Amino acid sequence: MEFLVWTLHVLVAASVVGLVLLQHGKGADMGAAFGSGASGSLFGATGSANFLSRATAILAALFFATSLGLTYFSSQKHDAAKQPAALPTQPIAPVQVPAMPQPAAPAGEDKAGAIPK
């Protein structure tokens, strides 16, 4: 589910950037007044501004919703990490370490050949 929200979030973000870049700035209205042909566009003289503005507003709301969803998923992971681990139901037996074997005397030596004290 989180992967789906991440994918949607990235797609919406790229769409918002694209729509913002498509929109005309305030200075573009002056050029339209002198016959730049805006009335012959696909949406009419003012239709493209309204369509792009509404689409940008809808995608911005969707971007905020996916941001909140990702925040929720992040907090759920963080809360799960804070919870203590469950205690074992059976006591753990102590580990017994075997005793270290004593080194054997080198071959050919016996107590008679040892250095006296």
pLDDT tens digit sequence for 63-115: 999 999 999 998 888 776 666 666 666 767 777 878 877 777 666 555 555 66
Res 17: pLDDT? 95
3-state percent breakdown (helix, strand, coil) of the chain, nearest 5: 60, 0, 40
The average confidence (pLDDT) of the chain is: 77
